[in-house]
Amino acid sequence: MKVLVTGVEGQLGYDVVKRLNLLGIENIGVDRTDFDITDKEQTEAYIFDCKPDVVIHCAAYTAVDKAEEEQGLCYAINVDGTRYISEACKKIDAKMLYISTDYVFDGEGTEAQKEDKPTAPANYYGYSKEQGELLVKELLEKYFIIRTSWVYGKNGNNFVKTMLKLGQTKDEISVVNDQVGVPTYTPDLAVSICDMLQTTKYGTYHVVNEGYCSWYEFVVEIFKQAGINIKVNSIPTSEYPTRAKRPLNSRLSKEKLDKNGFNRLPEWKDALKRYLDEL
């Protein structure tokens, strides 16, 4: 089996390739320097030449706030790019794993959102990822859509690293306490992705670490585990306006994961501990 991983220079792609190497699965990690996914010819030429059995599509436009102003670029990468990769997969009969997000949901309610809940994104990034999902479903039969949330990993910038930096320079910070979700550690997510790709249990899954918290609770735990003494104030979303609206409830149900016999990921606090050790 040969696996092609897009976005290898990003957080998730990096750890997926690491996991594939550990499992001894032949793989090629690619990024912008290999081909630009918004260029149909380049994308097709690379994939047809490489002829992978599986494509794990981790590359994406991920700047959630900036996307509100750069809608054209966000669409080109997350929708057109996904289309070109899906079409190429169809032509060579490769499986495709498309990484998606909690932001495809409106975040209404307090329960964990089921895999088949109708999507209704609250911001442009979420809309672009939703459109990518729809294309994958329309064009392919052999696909996995894997929705995840609040991603952090060693290779790239993320919320945890930002908080650790703030912890060096500030005595006090304010963090929203009414948005809940699940911080997800890329090596844990990579384990699940690599389990799935070896099966034919196609469909849409939610894969996040266990438990859930608010951003405020996440930050308190980051500083606690990192041994940083800083005052953290709890504020409502209304006191922290952002360009892109965020869903209040990002909890995701793991019903499909359980039903198909895939392992759940470890608790988010345990994952955070391993991440801080890794850093």
Q: Which residues bind ligand NAP (CB under 6 A)?
A: 7, 9-13, 31-32, 36-38, 58-62, 77, 81, 99, 101, 129, 148-151, 156
Instruction: Look up residue 210 and give its two tokens.
Output: 């266990």
Residue 58 burial (CB count, 10 A): 28
Residue 43: half-sphere exposure toward Cβ, Cα within 13 Å:
22
Instruction: Return the number of the residue (76 or 226) whose C-beta is nearest ligand NAP.
Output: 76
Place of tokens 């945890």: 160
Q: What are phi and psi of 2, to 5 degrees?
A: -115, 130
Supply the minimum distance, in Å, between the C-beta of residue 107 and ligand NAP: 13
Q: Is the dihedral of CA 138, 131, 17, 278 positive or negative?
A: negative
Supply the minimum distance, in Å, between the C-beta of residue 11 and ligand NAP: 3
- Catalytic, 125? Answer yes
Instruction: Return the number of the residue (162 or 169) whose C-beta is nearest ligand NAP.
Output: 162
Supply the minimum distance, in Å, between the C-beta of residue 241 and ligand NAP: 20
Which residue among 61, 103, 125, 185 is the active-site one?
125
Q: Which of 251, 46, 25, 11 is nearest to 152 (CA)?
A: 11
Helix (H) or strand (E) holding 47: helix 40-50
Supply the minimum distance, in Å, between the C-beta of residue 171 and ligand NAP: 27
Instruction: Return the number of the residue (101 or 177) whose C-beta is nearest ligand NAP.
Output: 101
Instruction: Return the number of the residue (101 or 123) whose C-beta is nearest ligand NAP.
Output: 101
Cα–Cα–Cα angle for 182, 144, 41, rounded to 5 degrees: 115
CA distance 18 to 34: 19
The catalytic site residues sit at 125
